[in-house]
Each structure stands twice: as structure tokens, then as C-alpha cells.
Amino acid sequence: MSAAMRPIGLAVFTLTAALIGCGDDPAVTPTVDAGDAAVDAVASGMDAPAAVDVPTTADVVDPCDPRRRLRDGGLIDPDPSCPLPNLIPVIDRVQIQTRSFAPGSCEVMEGCTMPGRRRLLRFDLITPNIGAGDLYLGPPVINNRPDGRFEYGACHMHYHFRGYADYRLMAMSSDTEVARGHKQSFCLLDSARYMDMGRALRPGEAYTCVDQGIHAGWFDLYDRALDCQYIDITDVPPGRYRVRARINELRGLTESSYDDNEVFREVEIPATDPPVSNDPTDACAADADGAARDCGWVVDRALSCTPGTRVTVGCNAACGAGSCAGNPVVRVCAGDGPCTHASAVAENDDACGTQCPSVSFMCPLFRNRYTVMTGGSRAGAAYECRLEATEARP
Ligand SMILES: [Ca+2]
Ligand SMILES: [Ca+2]
């Protein structure tokens, strides 16, 4: 960061964009043993390994601080006398879409769907932590010893918590299962606060894909535009059904309640697909790449800037702000809300000699609000984009 650039005070933010879950086959074997101290723990599993600050005895006073567990060699279950997390599933933004899959695509190889034209029931899955304690998993790999509860997605190049969510399509008035989704694995992280619960997090405090968890009062969002985030309904006749989502079925995560881990949402499956919209946050109807596409985007957040300054926003350490893993893209829109390629203020795929994106633009004198969207360079693909914004006087 040059001397002329400065963080935007409180507006400097770090937010981790969504990631993908696919693949039931564990590419790793459980090898964690609790004996060794993990003081030099390094997270890997993303293509850019990140150092993780593991607390020592001296700097952890709170015996319920979940981070202290890292010292004991990785993931161990929390002390039941400490405040526990409680996850609940919420289904949102249900959408029906027909799209084509190429043989050899990630989603076909990982068993989510089949080659050819397929009809999909897509939806967001939001999992708020409404419990009193933080959910903390830490890095998927401690000293290169993967925890058995994580799996490595070869197509997506990072670790997910195995079998976190299970999706079924059920008949309206019976327990008959009509269609089944892929058992979805998640990278569990802090997407945003849930209904004003919890507390604001300091920059860098939010959990990410390389140091996973969900703070109390925060939620993880799995966007419907992501790979494998659907039930394939190609062979399902039109009619009314119920979508069922269950989380943490195997209780691999310790919660204060398991009775609230199932949710139903009624859906109408029409005979033909609804008209295609121009919403850039819709999932892409075919394979799509690059920053100019108008599908498969995730709205990250809206921000303010100081009119007349030059704003640089991105997730690219080489350009001086933020960091990324995988291969993301960013787009900046004027005002609050998403925008298309034609109306974008700026967009970028790769910058400063890396696959991480960064853009610069003048903060308009008449309108000081902008919205940042992110996505995988290949629509639906895994990425992590920890955005930061800086302002410089021209
Ligand atoms: Ca629960
Ligand atoms: Ca990129």
C-alpha cells in the first residue's frame, strides 16, 4: 500500500465470499492424534496456504475460548460446560432452472448430476449459529494431518466439512422421497450477522475457509448459484412438493440442540421453466467464464466512498488490498444492489500478475455508494475473496 493510500477507516472490511461443496469421496484419511502441540500449525487445502495464529497458553485466558483447542492437536469437541453453538437450517430463494452439463465437468465428476440437459431445483441454504457459543473448527489441516471430518475436493481444491447438509425432495403429504440431492459438504465460515444477533467482528476476526467456524449470531450462506447446490429434478413430474434440508445429521459438530436441524419448504414444480431473468445473481444456464458474464455472481456488500477519491477494491494482496484463494472475479456496481456487465462501474478477473482480482474507480461526486459482487472465474467454481477497499486522494 503506498503512502498515499489509506484504509477507509471503519469501512475497511474483510468478508469471505462463498465457497463450494461437492464430493462425497474423502480424499484424505483421518490421522489426527491429540498428542502433539500444534504451535506451528499452517492451514492448507486452498491453493495458497495461509498461516494461522495459534494461541499459546499465555494468551488464552478464557477456558471456553474454542481456539485453545488447536493447541491440543486440532479439532476436539468443546467442553460441554462451555456455551455451545446451535446451528439451524434456513432455505431461501428457491429457483428452478434447466441447464446443460458437459461430460467431465466438476459437477458430473463429483456425482451431483449427469451430462446433458438437466432440470435443477436450486436454493440458498443459510445456517445461522443461534447458540450462545461460537462454532469453531479451525484449519482443516494441522501440521499436514487432515482431520477426518474434512474432505478435500479435488475439483474445487479446498477442504469441506463432510456431509454437512442433506437435501431431499419429498411428497406433500407423506414421507415418500421423490428426489435426492448430493450430500453437500461445506466450508463453514462467517458470511454475515443473522437478524442483528451476535456482535460486530473486528477486521480479520471472521472465520474463513482456511480457519473455519461460525461466530455466535452469524450465519454461513451457501448460495444457490454454487456448484452442486441443488436437487436434480429432471425426472420429477410437475406438482407441489416439499424440500427437506437437514444439517449435521451425523452430529460431527457439537451443538446445544439437534432438534432444530431439519427444515421443510414447499415448492411448486411447473411444467415448464419460468422465463429467464437478467438477474446476474442467478445461476448460469450453461458453462460461463470471466468477469463479463451476467450470471453466477454473489452480492458481497454495499459500501460508501468519499466522493472524488480513487477507490481500489479487490481481494489481491499483490495489488495491496485483500487476499484470495482459487480464481475469483469482482464487479463494482453504482449504488446499492447488483448490476449487469453493461452497467458495471468496473470489473476484473486477474490483476497484478495473479488470479486474484482488483479494480480502481473514481468515487462519483454525486453518488457515494457502491456494491461489490464476487464469483468464481468459472461460474459456480470454488473461490475465496477477502475483500478490502482503500481510498487515495487523486
Ligand atoms: Ca441445531
Ligand atoms: Ca481471477
pLDDT at residue number 85: 94
For residues 109 and 201, the model is more confident at 201
Starting from the CA of residue 253, give the closest ligand: 1
Give residue 247 CA to ligand 1 midpoint distance, Å.
8
Give whole-number Cα distances, 276 to 86, 99, 117, 225, in Å.
37, 11, 16, 14
What whole-number distance in Å separates Cα of residue 61 and Cα of residue 55? 10
pLDDT band for position 142 (cuts 50, 70, 90): low
Give residue 339 CA to ligand 1 midpoint distance, Å.
36
Angle at 215 between CA 214 and CA 221, to 5 degrees: 40
Starting from the CA of residue 256, give the closest ligand: 1
Give residue 88 CA to ligand 1 midpoint distance, Å.
5
Starting from the CA of residue 385, give the closest ligand: 2
Q: How many CA atoms lie within 13 A of 377 on its CB side?
A: 14
pLDDT band for position 299 (cuts 50, 70, 90): confident
What whole-number distance in Å separates Cα of residue 95 and Cα of residue 93? 6
Mean pLDDT of all residues in 385-392: 92
Give residue 229 CA to ligand 1 midpoint distance, Å.
21
pLDDT band for position 34 (cuts 50, 70, 90): very low
Does the reported pTM lie above 0.75?
Answer: no
- DSSP letter for 180, please: E
pLDDT at residue number 244: 97
For residues 104 and 5, the model is more confident at 104
For residues 366 and 258, the model is more confident at 258
Mean pLDDT of all residues in 353-376: 88
Starting from the CA of residue 354, give the closest ligand: 2
Starting from the CA of residue 84, give the closest ligand: 1
Give residue 218 CA to ligand 1 midpoint distance, Å.
14
Give residue 298 CA to ligand 1 midpoint distance, Å.
26
For residues 39 and 2, the model is more confident at 2
Portion of the chain with pLDDT greater than 90, in percent: 43
Rg (CA), the chain: 21
Starting from the CA of residue 247, give the closest ligand: 1
Q: Helix (H, G, I), strand (E, B), or coil: what is residue 161?
A: strand
Give residue 330 CA to ligand 2 midpoint distance, Å.
8
pLDDT at residue number 250: 87
pLDDT at residue number 103: 81
pLDDT at residue number 8: 32
Arithmetic mean of pLDDT over the chain: 80
Q: Which domains does the chain have, with CATH numbers?
A: 42-269 (2.60.40.10), 281-392 (2.60.120)
pLDDT band for position 349 (cuts 50, 70, 90): very high
Is it the case that residue 260 has pLDDT exceeding 70? yes
How is 233-290 classified by DSSP, letter by letter? -TTPPSEEEEEEEEE-TT--S--S-STT-EEEEEEEE-SSPPPPP--TTSPPSS--BS
What whole-number distance in Å separates Cα of residue 175 and Cα of residue 157? 36
What whole-number distance in Å separates Cα of residue 91 and Cα of residue 244? 9
Give residue 245 CA to ligand 2 midpoint distance, Å.
32
In tens, the pLDDT along 281-294 reads 888 888 899 999 99
Starting from the CA of residue 87, give the closest ligand: 1
Is it the case that residue 273 has pLDDT exceeding 80? yes
Angle at 153 between CA 313 and CA 143, to 5 degrees: 85
Give residue 68 CA to ligand 2 midpoint distance, Å.
35
